[in-house]
Chains A and B, each alone.
Chain A
Amino acid sequence: SQQGEEDPQALSIQEGENATMNCSYKTSINNLQWYRQNSGRGLVHLILIRSNEREKHSGRLRVTLDTSKKSSSLLITASRAADTASYFCATDAGAAGNKLTFGGGTRVLVKP
């Protein structure tokens, strides 16, 4: 089952612009995480936001979490061509085995 659903499914922007993607989920969570996947590669952990946090920053990344709406957003500022990748949200709902549930991802294309 997929807990998180990303929106939009795909995004195309010019280098230097900001990219925003959203994630909605269904059940209560301990935390929500964002991952990046370059084409044909494994996923890389970007940032984790706990359920009692509302906003978190890491470099050019800004993540918000609204637990009342069960949604999160990832903002990439001043995008670069190297940011071209798929981005996935994953939720930790305190399930057995510390399992994460991933959404379908947002494919981001940053044009030089």
Chain B
Amino acid sequence: DGGITQSPKYLFRKEGQNVTLSCEQNLNHDAMYWYRQDPGQGLRLIYYSQIVNDFQKGDIAEGYSVSREKKESFPLTVTSAQKNPTAFYLCASSIFTGAINYGYTFGSGTRLTVV
């Protein structure tokens, strides 16, 4: 079955640590996105990538980094520079048309907690 897989489901980070969240898709989608969701809030865009080896900052990129070495994979690293990383992280993918977005497919999310 085609889909988008995020791992791990739960992640605990100590102060000062970097952690990496995995996102893999087998939908052959060109575009991939990372969003952050805080309790009771909407989604805020962290980074996005339209093609392999290219990515752009979203609205809240500070303290995060990404890579896009393969079409299927778009890992997100939460660095120690991110002061308040506790949140629910959602990865999404879509067909990239250059003009119109026809909808995202989302992963099931990773809940990150700082301990």
Q: Which residues of A contact B (CB under 8 A)?
A: 1-2, 4, 30-31, 33, 35, 40-45, 48, 88, 90, 92, 94, 96-105, 107
Known: A88-B42, A96-B56, A97-B31. 5 other contacts (CB 8 A): A30-B101, A35-B104, A48-B102, A103-B42, A104-B41
User: Would A97 and B100 count as touching, CB distance under 8 A?
Assistant: no
- Closest beta carbon of chain B to A17's beta carbon, Å: 24
Q: Is B7 an interface residue (CB 8 A)?
A: no
- B residues contacting A by CB (< 8 A) are 6, 31, 33, 35, 40-45, 48-50, 56, 58-59, 88, 90, 92, 94, 96-109, 111
Contact A92 B43 (CB under 8 A): no
List the B side residues contacting A41 at CB < 8 Å.
108-109
A2-B42, A99-B58 given; A40·B31 CB < 8 A: no
Residue of A nearest to B48 (CB): A97
Inter-chain contact B42/A99, CB cutoff 8 Å: no
Residue among B41, B44, B107 making CB contact with A42, cutoff 8 Å: B107
Determine whether the beta carbon of B33 is less than 8 Å from that of A99.
yes
Nearest-CB residue, chain B, relative to A89: B42
Most chain A beta carbons < 10 A, residue from B31, B33, B40, B43: B43
| Ranked 6 nearest A-B pairs via Cβ | A42-B106, A98-B101, A104-B42, A92-B101, A102-B43, A45-B103
Q: Knowing A40-B109, A40-B111, say if A88 contacts B102 (CB, 8 Å).
A: no
Whether A98 and B31, one on each chain, are in contact in the complex, defined by CB atoms closer than 8 angstroms, is yes
